[in-house]
C-alpha cells in the first residue's frame, strides 16, 4: 500500500522583524493579531504529538522504516485481519511470516520483531530463546491503561495494575519462569456441553474439587454414575454408536490429536493427579503408568461410545454439534463469529454445561522477538494488537481470541455462548496449568500420548499396558530433549522456579 509520510509542521515559529525603530502602528497590530490567532488555535505540543491514532487521527510509525517482521505460528486465520487493520493504523509496513512449529527447535533464531503463537507452545519458544520478556515500558502502559482518568503514557508504580484485573486463565498462560513472557489475546477453556444427560454427579464432583475435598473415590463414583446413567439412556443406539466410532478411528490422519489429548486431560484434571502433572518435575519421570491415567482412558473410551461424532474433532466442531442438537455430548468451546445460530433441531433436549474447566493453553499469545531490531515499534504493535477493537475483529476469525469486556462481545446473542462465558468467569480460578503440556518439546509428548489413547479407544482392555508403553516412549523423549533442560522447563511452566 502506498502511504504518505506524515510531517508535522511547526506553526509556532516566531516571525522576524526588520529591526527598524520606526515601525508603523499597523505592522504592530498585524503582529499582535497573528500572535493572538496562534494562541487561540494552539501550537502542537510535545505531548500531543505522542498521541495514538485513536486520539489524533494520524498514523504512527515511519514509512521509510523497514517492515516489522511478524512471525505467525498456527494462527494463519489472523493474517488478513492483522495486515489490513495495521495498514489503517501505521505508516510502517509489516511482513507476516508463517512458521512451522515443528522446525522451530532446530532452526537458527531469526530476527523477528513480534511472534504470535498458541499458549501451549510458550515453553518451547521460550526455551529456544526466540522471545524476550514483555518490555517494562509496555507493562507500564498496560498497567495504567485500565485506570480511569489516566493516560496510557503515564508510568505506574505497580507494573501489574490493570493486568491483574485480567482473567486468571489469561494471566497464567502468559507467565513463564515467573515473568510476563507474552500478552494473552485469549484463553478459552475446555467445557462439556450436553443434551439429555444427567450432569448432577459431575456437578457434585466439581463442588468437591472447589472445596478441596476431592479424592480418587469421589472422582470414580461421580464418573461411574454419570457414564452408567448416560449409557442406560442411550442403550438402544449404543451398537450404532460403536460402529460410528470404529469407522472414525480408521482414518487417524483426520483426527485432531491435541484435541483428543485435551479431552483426556479434562477428565484427568478432576483426579488425584490434578496438581501433580504429567511428569514428575523433580525426578523428571513420566507419571503415565499410575492407576488414574488408565482409569481416565477408560472413561474417555466410554464417552466416545456415548457420542462418537464429537470425541475426535476440533473443539468448535464438537461444541456446535451439541449446540445445534445433533449430538448429546461434546467437550470444546463455542464459535465466536458473532452470528446467531441458524437452526436448532426441534426435538433437541435442553442444553446443559458440566461445570468443569480445563485450560489447555489454547489461546493466542503475542511476544516480542529476542532479536528484534525495532523494539519500540514492536512494543507499539503489541500494544495496538491488545486494543479492544482489534481483539473484536480477530475474535470473528477464531475463538482463541477474546475481548476484554464481555459487553463488547457480539456473540452474546447466543444463549449457549453466554452460559459458556459465565461458567468461565465463575470457575476459571479453579483451573490450574499443572496438567497442561506447555513445556519444552511438548508437541512430541502430546502426539505420543494421542497415539496411545487412540489404541485404547479401539480396545479399552489394553489401557494399562498401552500407557506403560507410552511411558517408555516419553522416557526416550526426555533423554533426547535433555533431562536438565526438561526439568528447568517443567519448573518454569508450573511456577516452581519462582
Indicate which CATH number applies to the domain containing 165: 3.40.190.10
Cell readout for 225 is 454414575
User: Residue 8 above 60 pLDDT?
Assistant: no
Q: Is 427 a member of any domain?
A: no
Band of the pLDDT at 79, cuts 50, 70, 90? very high
Domain match, 370 and 355 both? no
Residues 373 and 354 grouped into a single domain:
no
What is the sign of the dihedral through the CA atoms of 79, 81, 87 and 90?
A: negative
Confidence at residue 64, expressed as pLDDT on a 0 to 100 scale: 85
- Of residues 112 and 141, more confidently modeled: 112
Report yes or no: 274 and 435 within 8 Å, Cβ to Cβ: yes
Question: Is 413 part of any domain?
Answer: no
The half-sphere exposure of 200 on its side-chain side, counting CA atoms within 13 A, is: 3
pLDDT band at 150 (very low <50, low <70, confident <90, very high): very low
CA distances from 142 to 97, 361, 379, 418 (A): 26, 22, 11, 27
Confidence of residue 497 (pLDDT cuts 50, 70, 90): low
CATH number (domain holding residue 479): 3.40.190
**How far is Cα 114 from Cα 382, in angstroms, rounded to an integer?**
8
Is the pLDDT reported for residue 33 higher than 60?
no
Query: What is the pLDDT confidence band of residue 107, given thresholds at 50, 70 and 90?
Result: confident
Residues 439 and 378 in one domain: no
**DSSP code of residue 57:** S
Q: Judge whether 8 lies within some domain.
A: no
Q: Determine, yes or no, domain membership for 420.
A: no
Of 39-53, 203-217, 319-333, give the lowest mean pLDDT range.
39-53
CA angle 399-298-423, nearest 5°?
A: 30
Same domain, 241 and 161: no
- Whether pLDDT at 6 is above 50: no
The yes-or-no verdict on residue 10 having pLDDT over 80 is no
pLDDT at 106 over 60: yes
DSSP bridge partners of 216: none
Q: Which domain holds residue 221?
A: 190-359+432-494
On whether both 315 and 379 belong to a single domain, the answer is no
DSSP state letters, 471-495:
HHHHHHHHHHH-HHHHHHHHHHHHT
Q: Are residues 123 and 167 in the same domain?
A: yes
Model's pTM, two decimal places? 0.85
Residues 300 and 229 in one domain: yes
pLDDT at 157: 39
The CA distance from 258 to 262, in Å, is 6
Give the closest residue to 322 by CA, choosing from 367, 300, 354, 360.
354
What's the rounded Cα separation, in Å, for the pair 329 and 318?
A: 8
Task: Report if residue 15 sits inside a domain.
Answer: no
The residue ranking higher by pLDDT, 207 or 319, is: 319
Give per-residue pLDDT as tens, 422-441. Answer: 999 887 666 789 999 999 99
Residues 179 and 197 in one domain: no
Q: How many domains does the chain have?
A: 2
Cα–Cα distance, 498 to 483 (Å, whole number) = 20
Residue 49 domain flag? no
With b for 16 or more beta-carbon neighbours within 10 A and e for fewer, the 402-419 pattern comes to: bbbeeeebbbeebebbeb
Q: Are residues 167 and 308 in the same domain?
A: no
Say yes or no: 295 and 378 in one domain. no
The C-alpha cell of 283 is what?
Answer: 525426578
What's the pLDDT score for residue 47? 34
Spell out the SS3 assignment of 418-457.
HHHHHHHHHHHHHCCCCCCCCCCCHHHHHHHHHHHHHHHH
Residue 102: Cβ within 10 Å count: 10
Please say if the pLDDT value at position 372 is more than 70: yes
Gap between the Cα atoms of 126 and 261, Å rounded: 23
Contact 270, 205 (CB under 8 A): yes
- Work out the pLDDT band at 57, boundaries 50, 70, 90: low
Residue 424 falls inside a structural domain: no
Give the largest Cα separation in the chain, rounded: 111
- Going by their DSSP bridges, the two strands 68-73 and 114-118 should be labelled as parallel
Same domain, 140 and 220: no
Domain membership flag for residue 34? no
pLDDT of residue 72: 98
352-361, 427-436, 461-470: least confident range = 427-436
Do 210 and 334 lie in one domain? The reply is: yes
pLDDT, mean over the chain: 85
Joined together, the cell numbers standing for residue 193 give: 456441553
Amino acid at each position: 500500500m502506498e502511504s504518505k509520510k506524515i510531517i508535522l509542521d511547526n506553526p509556532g515559529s516566531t516571525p522576524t522583524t526588520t529591526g527598524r525603530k520606526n515601525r508603523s502602528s499597523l505592522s504592530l497590530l498585524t503582529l499582535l493579531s497573528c500572535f493572538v490567532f496562534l494562541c487561540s488555535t494552539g501550537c502542537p505540543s510535545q505531548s500531543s504529538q505522542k498521541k495514538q491514532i485513536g486520539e489524533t487521527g494520524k498514523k504512527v510509525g515511519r514509512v521509510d522504516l523497514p517492515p516489522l517482521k511478524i512471525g505467525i505460528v498456527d494462527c494463519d486465520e489472523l493474517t488478513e485481519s492483522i495486515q489490513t487493520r495495521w495498514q489503517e493504523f501505521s505508516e510502517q509496513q509489516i511482513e507476516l511470516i508463517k512458521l512451522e512449529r515443528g522446525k522451530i527447535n532446530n532452526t537458527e533464531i531469526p530476527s523477528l520483531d513480534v511472534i504470535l503463537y498458541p499458549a501451549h507452545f510458550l515453553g518451547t519458544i521460550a526455551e529456544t530463546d526466540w522471545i524476550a520478556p514483555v518490555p517494562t515500558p509496555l507493562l507500564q502502559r498496560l498497567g495504567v491503561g485500565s485506570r480511569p482518568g489516566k493516560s496510557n503514557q503515564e508510568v505506574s508504580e505497580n507494573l501489574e495494575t490493570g493486568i491483574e484485573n485480567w482473567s486468571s486463565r489469561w494471566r497464567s498462560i502468559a507467565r513463564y519462569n515467573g515473568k510476563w513472557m507474552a500478552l494473552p489475546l485469549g484463553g478459552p477453556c475446555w467445557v462439556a456441553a450436553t443434551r439429555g444427560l444427567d450432569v448432577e454427579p459431575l456437578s457434585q464432583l466439581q463442588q468437591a474439587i472447589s472445596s478441596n475435598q476431592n479424592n480418587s473415590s469421589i472422582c470414580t463414583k461421580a464418573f461411574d454414575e454419570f457414564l452408567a446413567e448416560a449409557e442406560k439412556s442411550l442403550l438402544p443406539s449404543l451398537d450404532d454408536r460403536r460402529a460410528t466410532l470404529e469407522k472414525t478411528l480408521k482414518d487417524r490422519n483426520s483426527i485432531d490429536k491435541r484435541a483428543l489429548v485435551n479431552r483426556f486431560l479434562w477428565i484427568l484434571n478432576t483426579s488425584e493427579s490434578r496438581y501433580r502433572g504429567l511428569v514428575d518435575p523433580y525426578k523428571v519421570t513420566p507419571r503415565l503408568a499410575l492407576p488414574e491415567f488408565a482409569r481416565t482412558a477408560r472413561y474417555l473410551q466410554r464417552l466416545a461410545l456415548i457420542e462418537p461424532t464429537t470425541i475426535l474433532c476440533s473443539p468448535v466442531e464438537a461444541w456446535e454439534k451439541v449446540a445445534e442438537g445433533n449430538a448429546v455430548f461434546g467437550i470444546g468451546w463455542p464459535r465466536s463469529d458473532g452470528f446467531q445460530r441458524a437452526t436448532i433441531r426441534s426435538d433437541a433436549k435442553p442444553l446443559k454445561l458440566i461445570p468443569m474447566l480445563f485450560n489447555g493453553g489454547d489461546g493466542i499469545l503475542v511476544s516480542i522477538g529476542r532479536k528484534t531490531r525495532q523494539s519500540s515499534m514492536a512494543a507499539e504493535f503489541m500494544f495496538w494488537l491488545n486494543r479492544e477493537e482489534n481483539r473484536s475483529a480477530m475474535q470473528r476469525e477464531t475463538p482463541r481470541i477474546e475481548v476484554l469486556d464481555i459487553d463488547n462481545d457480539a456473540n452474546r446473542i447466543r444463549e449457549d455462548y453466554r452460559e459458556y462465558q459465565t461458567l468461565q468467569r465463575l470457575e476459571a480460578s479453579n483451573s490450574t496449568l499443572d496438567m497442561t503440556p506447555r513445556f519444552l518439546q511438548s508437541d512430541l509428548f502430546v502426539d505420543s500420548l494421542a497415539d496411545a489413547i487412540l489404541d485404547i479407544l479401539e480396545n479399552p482392555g489394553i489401557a494399562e499396558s498401552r500407557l506403560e508403553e507410552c511411558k517408555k516412549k516419553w522416557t526416550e523423549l526426555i533423554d533426547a530433549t535433555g533431562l536438565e533442560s526438561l526439568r528447568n522447563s517443567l519448573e518454569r511452566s508450573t511456577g516452581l522456579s519462582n
